[in-house]
Chain A
Amino acid sequence: MKRRDLIVGAVALAASAAVAPAFAQEWKPTQPLELVVHGGPGSGNDVMARQLTTIIEQEKLSPVRVQVSNRVGGGSTTAAAYMASKKGDPNTIAVFTIVWVTDPLTQEAATNGLNTLTPITRLIEEPALIVVKADAPYKTLKDFVDAAKSKSGQLKQSGGSITSRDNILRQLIMKQTGANWVFVPFPGGGERIAAILGGHTDIMITDPSEAGEQVRAGKLKVLAQVGKERLDTFKDIPTLKEAGFDFQDIPQTRGIVGPPGMPPEAVKYYETFFEKLRQSAGWKKFLADNQLLGVNEKSEASKKFLITYEDMLRVVLKDAGAKVVR
C-alpha cells in the first residue's frame, strides 16, 4: 500500500513540476537545468559543456544547478531525438554544432533537423588555420593551389569525416579555383596532425587550438586563416579573403538549442541568461584560451542564420560527393 502511495505521489509531483512554470509570465527555472551534449564524457563537446557549467557556477549566473547530460549515439541523432521528445519543456537545452545540421542532411534515419527544434542563441564561431609542414615549398595558399592544379589529384589533405568543416572548405576552394587535391579522412584529431607532421599528407585545415603549438614550435606553418578578421595570435597571416579567395564561407558554429515548442518566455529567459554569460570574465577567458570567436545572436537571428546555413551546406555536401537526403 505504502509503495503505491509513493508512486502516486511521485507522479503527481512530477506532473505539477512540468506544468506549473509554463503559465508564469516571467519564467524562471525552479528545477535543475539539463544541458544536453551529443558527445560522451571526455569528447570535445562534453569538455566544453562542462567548462560552461563551471563558468555558470563560478559567476553565479543561474538560480538553479546546470547538469550536463550526455546523449550519445549516431553523431547528433540521439541527442536531437532526445530534444524532440522533450517537446515544450523549458528545463532542457542542448549544445549544437555543425553535425546537428549535417546529420539530418545526409542520414535518412536522422529525422530531427535543427530547425524543427528551437534555436536559442549562437555562441561561437570557430576560426580555422590552413597549415602545411614548415619545410613545404609553399609560401601562400595560392602557391599550394597552383601546385595542386599542376599535379592534379596528387596532393593530399588530412581531415575528418567528409561532412566535416575541413572538407567543406576544401570543396569551396576547389570550386573557386578549379584545383583538385585528395581528401584523406582520419577519425582522430591526433592522427590527422601526425599524418601531416610525418609528411604523409600535404595540407590540413584545423582549429588554432589544435595546430597552434606546432606552429609556435616551427613544425607547421600557416598559409591563411579562415574567419572574418585576423586572430590576435596570428596577426601577420592573411584571412582567406585577403589572400584573394573571396567566397561565402560556411563557418563552424556552436550554440544553444531548446526542444520544439519551447515557451517564448523561457526562450526569452535563456536569451538574457546567455547575454549575461557573454559579459562574464570566465567566458571571455574561455574564448581566449581556445582561440574562438564569440557570436552574439538571439533566437530569431539564429533561426534565420541556420536556414541559409543549411541551404549552403546542402549544395557543398552534394559537390563533396555525399548523398544528401533532405
Chain B
Amino acid sequence: MQKLNFKNGDVVSGAILIALGTYIIIQASIWPYYEVNGPGPGFFPLWYGILMVLLSVGLIISAARKPKEDNADTIFTMGTWRALTVWFGLVVCLVAMAWLGFNIAFTLFTVFLVSYVLGRPWMTGIITGIASSAAFYVLFAVVLGVQLPTSPWGF
C-alpha cells in the first residue's frame, strides 16, 4: 500500500472538495437562479460551487507538479491512530450521553482517555473522571443553571 503523504493528501482533499463542489452546483441548479425582483436562492451557491471545483482542480494539478522530495512527510502515523481512537471514543460518549446523561458518559470517556489512551494508572483515570464530571455538574448545572445532557431517567 502506498503511503499517504502530503502530495496524496492534497489529491485526496482536492477530490473530496470537487465532490462537495459538484454537490453544491447540482443542488443550486435546482433552486431558482434569478427571481422577479432579484437573485434567487440558487444564485450565490452556484458561483461558489463552481469556484470550489475550479480551485480543487488547481490544487490537484499543483500537487501533481510538486517535486518528489517535497512530500517526504507521511500523514498517517501512530499518533493519527491515537487521535482517531480518541475521536471515536468521543462519538461513542456523545451517543451514550443520550441514554446515560452527561455525568456517567463523561466520566467513562475521561477514564478511557486518561487511562487507555494516555496510559495513566486506572486509579488516576477514575479519580479524574469522577472529579471532573462532578466539577462540571456543580459549576454549570447547580451554580449557573446551564442545562446539561440528561438521560430519559432524569440524571
Tell me the B96-131 residues at the A interface (CB within 8 Å): none
Q: A158-191 toward B: CB 8 Å interface, digit per residue (1/0)?
A: 0000000000000000000000001100000000
Q: Are A14 and B153 in contact (CB under 8 A)?
A: yes
Is B37 within 8 A of A10, CB to CB? no
Query: What residues of chain B lie closer than 8 Å to A321, measured between beta carbons?
Result: 35-36
A–B pairs, 6, beta carbons within 8 Å: A7-B153, A10-B155, A14-B153, A14-B154, A153-B37, A182-B37
Complex Cα distance, B36 from A153, in Å, reads: 10
Give the top 6 A-B pairs by smallest Cβ distance, nearest first. Answer: A182-B37, A10-B153, A11-B153, A14-B154, A10-B154, A14-B153
**Which residues of the other chain, B, contact A11 by a CB distance below 8 angstroms?**
153
Instruction: Report the bound CA distance from A321 to B38 in whole Å.
Output: 13
What are the residues of chain A within 8 A of B153 when measuring CB–CB? 7, 10-11, 14
CB distance from A88 to the nearest CB of B (A): 16
Assembly CA distance A153 to B37 (angstroms): 8
Contact B37 A183 (CB under 8 A): yes
Interface residue ranges of B50-72 to A (CB < 8 Å): none
Q: Which of A2-28 contact B (CB under 8 A)?
A: 7, 10-11, 14
In the complex, how many angstroms separate the beta carbon of A118 from the nearest chain B beta carbon? 23
Enumerate chain B residues within 8 angstroms of A182, measured Cβ to Cβ.
Answer: 37
Q: Which of chain B's residues 8-55 have a Cβ closer than 8 Å to chain A?
A: 35-37
User: In whole Å, how far is A275's beta carbon from the nearest beta carbon of chain B?
Assistant: 31
**Smallest CB separation, A3 vs chain B (Å):** 9
Q: In the complex, what residues of A have CB within 8 A of residue B35's CB? A: 321
Chain B residues, Cβ within 8 Å of A183: 37
* Complex CA distance for A183 and B36, rounded to whole angstroms: 11
For A10, the chain B residues whose CB sits under 8 A away are 153-155
Chain A residues with CB below 8 A from B37, complex form: 153, 182-183
In the bound complex, how far is the Cα of B37 from the Cα of A14, in angstroms?
Answer: 55
Task: Give the docked Cα–Cα distance between A11 and B153 (Å).
Answer: 6
CB B96 to nearest CB in A, in angstroms, measures 15
- Collect the chain B residues with CB atoms within 8 Å of residue A7's CB: 153, 155
How many angstroms from the CA of A153 to the CA of B35 in the assembled complex?
13
- Can you name the residue of chain B whose Cβ is closest to the Cβ of A8? B153
Chain A, residues 181-219, CB within 8 Å of chain B (1/0): the string is 011000000000000000000000000000000000000
In the complex, what distance in Å separates the CA atom of A7 from the CA atom of B153?
A: 8
User: What's the least CB distance linking B99 to chain A, in Å?
Assistant: 12
User: In the docked arrangement, what's the CA distance between A14 and B35, Å?
Assistant: 54
B-contact bits for A273-312, CB 8 A (1 contact / 0 none)? 0000000000000000000000000000000000000000
Cα A182 to Cα B36 with chains together (Å): 9
**Of B153, B154, B155, which is in contact with the most chain A CB atoms at under 10 Å from its CB?**
B153
The interface bits of chain B over 137-155 (1 if a CB of A lies within 8 angstroms of the residue's CB, else 0) are 0000000000000000111
Interchain CA distance A183-B35 in the complex, whole Å: 12
Q: How far apart are the CA atoms of A183 and B153 in the complex, in Å?
A: 49
